[in-house]
Chains A and B, each alone.
Chain A
C-alpha cells in the first residue's frame, strides 16, 4: 500500500515536471533569443545559453520603437479600460443577479449571444465609426468599443448570486438608496470577484492586437502588441530585437499575474475554492 502510494506520487511528479518544462521552455528560449545578435540566433546547433547582446538589442530596439512611450500606452489603456469595464460589469452583473425586471432573460440571452460574434463582423463598421467621430489614433478608440464585456458581466453575475439577499434588505430597511447600497454594501463584499474580473480584463486588453492595429496610426500611440507586429513581416526583421520586444511585453504581464494570482483564482468562481 505504501509502495503503491509512493509510485503514484512519483508518477504525479514526473507528469507535473513535464508540464513545467512544456510551459516554461518556450519562455526560456525567448529570453535567450533576446540576448543574442540576429546572426547568432540562426546557428546550427542552436545556442541554448544566453549571450551578451542584451544591452545592444535593447538600445537598437529602443531607438526604433521608443519603448517607454509604448509601455505607457499599453499600461494606460489597459488600466483605464480595466477600471471602467469592471465597474460596468459589476453594475450589470448585480442587476442580473439580484433584481427581477421585465426583459431580464432577453437581455441576458443577448449578452450570451454577443460572446459568439466574430470580431471580424463588426471590425469594418466600427472602424468607419471611429473615423466619423474623428477618433482614429486616440486612446478612447481602443478603450470604448469593448468596455461592455459580456464575459465579465457573466462572471460578475455568477459571483453576485452568492451574496445573501439579507444584506441588501437590511440596508433598505435602514433607508439607504439603491446606488448607496451598491457602492457601500455590494461592491465591498464582491471585491475578490472584482479583482478576478479586473485581472482578466487587464490581460485581455494588454494583449489585444487586431483592433488597436487597425485604429492606431502613429508610433507614438502604439501598444506593445501593435509595435511587435509592426516588426514582423518586413524584409529586415532583426530576430534578436524581436525576441527582446516579446520578452519586454511578456514579463510585465507575467509579474502582474504572479502578484495578483491569488485574487484571480479565488475570485473567478465566487470564492468556491478555499485556499
Chain B
C-alpha cells in the first residue's frame, strides 16, 4: 500500500534564552542575553502507510509533540521534507488541514459555554460539510460513543471522559483521512479508556482512517497499534511491530520461589538471585540461560526443598523502561 505520511530528515531546532546563575545574573541577562540551541528533532525519518494505527512513543521531552505539531501544520521544521497526503503541511496549511483531525488530550477544541451540538454545527460550517453527510456522520459517531445525552449540554458541565468523547467526535466530523491523537486516554477511567480504544479501532476499520497516536499508556499501544515508532532525545530509535520488541524481551523471566525451610544461601547455575529472605527467594535467568520450566524444576529441586514457585515475564511497561534505559533515555 502507498505511504500516506512521508517524513524525511526532519530537524527542528529551538533557540532559547539561557539563564546563568550567580550574583547579578538576572541583571546581566537583562542586557546581554545568551541563547542556546535545543535540537528537538534530529534527522527524523519514517513512513506511515494508509490505514495504519501507529503508536508514537518515547519518554517525556523526546520530541513526540513537536513531531505531531509538524505533521499537523502547526510548526515549521528547521530542515527536512515532509509530505502527508501529497501535501506539505506547513506550506499548504489551509488545504492540508481539511483532511486531518487532531485531538490534543490536554486541550479542548470545542466551545466552553455553548451546548456541544452548537460546537459541532460550527465545525460543520468551518469544514463545509454538506448537511446530510453531517447528519449521517453524527449518527455513526453517536452510536459508537453514546453521545446522545451529551450533545445538548454545555461543554463545561461534562466530565473529563464525556469531554474526551466529544473531542474525538468533533475531530472526526469531516471524516479526515488522518487522525492525530496526542495522549487521548490521559486521565480517563478504565471503562472510558476501553470505550475510547474500541472507538479508535472502529473508526480505523470503518473509515480506513490512518491514526497516529502518542501515549504513555502501554496498554493503549498493545491494544491498538500495528506499528510503533520509538523516539528519544529527538532521534528515532526503533520502528516496526511491537511484537518484535516484546519477543526480544519476553525471554527474561523472574521466578519467585518459596522453600519449605530456611536457607542461609541460595545459588543456582545460570540464574542470579535478586533477593533472598529465609524461605523466599527471587531469581532471574541470565541472558545466556533459556528458561524451561522442566529444567528449572529439576535443577532447583536437586539442591533445595521447594514448596511453590511462580514465573513471570516482563510487563509491557517494564519492557519499555528497559528500552529507555538501554538507549539511556531515562531522565536523571
Report if A and B associate in a common complex: no
A interface residues (Cβ-Cβ under 8 A, vs B): none
